[in-house]
Structure formats: C-alpha cells, structure tokens
Amino acid sequence: MNPALAQAAPPPAAATGVPFVRLDSADPLLSADIFAAIERIAGTAAFTMGEELETFEHEFATWCETDHAIGVSSGTSALELTLRALGIGAGDEVIVPTNSFIATAEAVTATGATPVLVDVDEDTALITAKIVEAALTERTRCVIPVHLYGRSVTMGPLLALCQAHDLRLVEDACQAHGSRYQGRPAGTHGDAGCFSFYPTKNLGGWGDGGAVVTADAGLAERIKLIRSHGEGTRHHHEVASGTHRLHSLQAAILSVKLKRLSEWNEQRRQAAATLSEALAGTDLILPAPVTAGGDHVYHLFVVRTPERDTLRSHLNDSGVASAIHYPTPIHLQQAYAPSKGALPVSERLAAESCSLPIFPSITDEELDRIATAVSSFSA
C-alpha cells in the first residue's frame, strides 16, 4: 500500500471479502514466468545495468510509441532526474497540482527549484491550461501535469500555453501507463514522461522502480548520465549525481508483465464501466466521463461523497476494502507551509474522495458485491 494511504485506512475488509487490490500472487502463470526470469538473472549474477535493463527499456519505449526509455529507481527519481537534465534548479518555479501524491512536488524541491502548487478542475481532478496560466510568473520554467488515477490530462491547450511562454512540460504519468490523449500515449506529449512501477501501479514491479520516456535523444543521454553517479565512462564522473538505477531483477519482471499490460488496462476499463453503470442510481459522485480525445486506464476508481468516512466504515463492515487518494493535499502537508483554504477544490476532493476496489482480475461477483454495498449505503 502507498504510505500516503496508511494514515487514513480503516481496518482491512474481511479476508473473504473484496480486497482493494490483488497483486501477482493471484496469477500462477504470471508468477511462473516471473520466477523463470529471476532464475535466469540469478544464473548470470547480472543484477545491475546490462542486457535485462536495456531490453526492458527498448520494450517500454516501443510500447509507449516513443524513441527512448530510461529505467530509474522510482517515479520520484524519474521526475527529479528529468527536471535536473532540463536544467531546472534554484530560482526556478515549477507549477504542480496540489491534488497529487507528494512525490510530484518533492522532485521539484530536490532540484532546488520551487514547486508552485495550484488547484485542479473539480470534475476531472486534473490540472488545466486555464489554472496554469493564472499561476505563471517571470520565474516559471516548467509545468508538471499529472495524469491522475489513470485519466489523461487535456494536453492540447496546455502544450500551446507552454510553447507560447517557452516553458518545459514534464508529464507525471505515474498512474497512467497506457492512457492516451488524441491517440498518443500519456508521457509522449511534452519534453518527457515519467512513470512509476510501484507494485500497485497498472504496470508494477516487485519493489520500487520507474522510467522516463522521451523523443529527445540528448535529454535521454543526460538522464542516463545522472542516474548512475554521473559516470560517462568507467571511473570518470562528469557530475555529482548519486545513484538512481532500475535494477535488472525489476527490469526483467516488468518485461514479463508489460506483455499483459494492454489486456489488463482493458479489463480495468470494463470493470469501471460495470461499476459506473451499477452505481448510477446512488448518491455518489462517480468518475466523470472521458472527455473528447481523452482516455482513462482506471489505476483507481474514485467516487465522492460528503459522508466519505461513514461510507468507508459501511464498506468495511460489508467486506469491501477501500482507500483514500489523497487525504491531505500537498499544500496542506507540513513539508510545504500549509495554508488551509488556499486551494478549495483540492481540499474538498481530499475530504470527499473514496477509492473503490479495481484491478484486472476483479470478478463479476466482486463487482456486484461492491455495488450492493454502496447501494445499501445510499438507500
């Protein structure tokens, strides 16, 4: 579970109920393929960098329909290294939606730049060009739209705005593997796209991991340089950068799972459609329909109600797990000088949002149980 959820989670649903997420142990064929990959790596002891990583990078770039993918240690590192490779640093401002996991802002802080936290659209919970434009200053250097919950940001107006003001655009696609906007994958519209492979993601490893995708060969080379001690050639370090590598074991596991990702995303969409139809008569605010040209791969299925905490207790008593994404917006976190009331839409979303179970292997019976539990609450 993401650490951001632990502080707000009720007791888990009964073991015989509907879990919030079901990971790889539920698929014996997948597990067999993964263990075969692990055994292969153990036989060569090639645990860092090398062929397994390069293979996954090539496969992921191809899957994202772009030229380059660089494996790194986490989604947070993907964002940080991309910003550093773009020359973002002290004195610069980067616009970030406050309705996101804190890593989006942390990556900016790690470069020495200042995250400028902005509100989001109430219907989609996403950043918009209009919101960004109102936050621009002479110090703004970059914008980070977050394709939150698996829903694609409306990128066209945002790209036009960034081009007009000579701004960098880095997509946080950590929850949107395979989501598209106007036919192109999330992460391929701006200067670069950043992905997380945390175990619960649509494409998740067996630990932390991440990647940057880009069509810019020069940017890709700079990110590769700074992910591993700034070492251009062996024992020759061009910059002091630390280590942010994606390990070979994770790369091999991700290669196995990548082959199934399109199918898994479609299963998530189908499950979301079933839930949306079943819950249409309830008092909950359901996920907004996908906008023209947009997409949703339902990393999360997030509903809203002013009685969120009561709903969660009812779901738990009914054997249905749930979670909150996210209980505290970034601008109210102690790390970012909290100022309550400054960004009211995100604060309202934080108080009302409830994530219901959704995952590729979810059954019709489990979806029916979720719908029955919610409907009995709303009756």
Between 120 and 48, whose confidence is greater? 120
Predicted local distance difference test score (pLDDT) of residue 1: 34
Predicted local distance difference test score (pLDDT) of residue 341: 86
Average pLDDT of span 176-183: 98
- At residue 25, does pLDDT exceed 80? no
Band the pLDDT of 379: cuts 50, 70, 90: low
For residues 149 and 158, give the distance between their C-alpha atoms in angstroms, rounded to a whole number.
19
Predicted local distance difference test score (pLDDT) of residue 72: 98
- At residue 175, does pLDDT exceed 90? yes
Between 203 and 43, whose confidence is greater? 203
Q: Quick one: what percent of the chain has pLDDT higher than 70?
A: 95
- At residue 3, does pLDDT exceed 50? no
Predicted local distance difference test score (pLDDT) of residue 194: 98
For residues 152 and 132, give the distance between their C-alpha atoms in angstroms, rounded to a whole number.
16
Predicted local distance difference test score (pLDDT) of residue 246: 95
- Token digits of residue 301: 């299925």
One-letter-per-residue 3-state SS of the chain: CCHHHHCCCCCCCCCCCECCCCCHHHCHHHHHHHHHHHHHHHHHCCCCCCHHHHHHHHHHHHHCCCCEEEEECCHHHHHHHHHHHCCCCCCCEEEEECCCCCHHHHHHHHCCCEEEEECCCCCCCCCCHHHHHHHCCCCEEEECCECHHHECCCHHHHHHHHHHCCCEEEEECCCCCCCEECCEECCCCCCEEEEECCCCCCCCCCCCCEEEEECCHHHHHHHHHHCECCEEECCEECCCCCECECCHHHHHHHHHHHHHHHHHHHHHHHHHHHHHHHCCCCCCECCCCCCCCCCECCCCEEEECCCHHHHHHHHHHCCECCECCCCCCHHHCHHHCCCCCCCHHHHHHHHHEEEECCCCCCCHHHHHHHHHHHHHHHC
- Token digits of residue 293: 């040209």
The answer to whether 138 and 167 have CB atoms below 8 angstroms apart is no
pTM: 0.93
- At residue 4, does pLDDT exceed 60? no
- Token digits of residue 117: 């936290």
- Token digits of residue 74: 């986490």
Residue 372, φ and ψ in degrees, nearest 5: -65, -45
Residue in the structure block whose two tokens are 């191809």: 62
Range scoring the smallest mean pLDDT among 14-18, 49-53, 173-177, 296-300: 14-18
Q: How many other C-beta atoms are found inside a 10 Å radius of the C-beta of residue 36?
A: 11
> Among 158, 127, 143, 137, which residue's Cα sits nearest to residue 91?
137
- At residue 299, does pLDDT exceed 90? yes
For residues 22 and 51, give the distance between their C-alpha atoms in angstroms, rounded to a whole number.
30
Average pLDDT of span 251-271: 97
- pLDDT tens digits, one per residue of 275-285: 999 999 999 99
Range scoring the smallest mean pLDDT among 63-77, 108-122, 132-146, 331-345: 331-345
Predicted local distance difference test score (pLDDT) of residue 49: 81
Q: What is the mean pLDDT of the chain?
A: 93
Band the pLDDT of 11: cuts 50, 70, 90: very low
- At residue 88, does pLDDT exceed 70? yes
| Per-residue CA distances from 41 to 33, 35, 126, 190, 350 (Å) | 13, 10, 40, 35, 43
Average pLDDT of span 78-101: 98
- List Cβ neighbours of 236 (8 Å cut-off, separation of 6 or more): none
Predicted local distance difference test score (pLDDT) of residue 164: 98
- pLDDT tens digits, one per residue of 311-367: 999 999 999 999 999 999 999 999 998 888 889 999 999 999 999 999 999 999 999
Predicted local distance difference test score (pLDDT) of residue 23: 86
Buried b (16+ CB within 10 A) or exposed e, 295-332: bbbbbbbbbbbeebeebbebbbebbbbbbbbbbbbbbb
Predicted local distance difference test score (pLDDT) of residue 15: 54
- At residue 79, does pLDDT exceed 50? yes
For residues 328 and 334, give the distance between their C-alpha atoms in angstroms, rounded to a whole number.
10
> Among 171, 183, 188, which residue's Cα sits nearest to residue 69?
188
For residues 150 and 266, give the distance between their C-alpha atoms in angstroms, rounded to a whole number.
12
Average pLDDT of span 362-374: 97
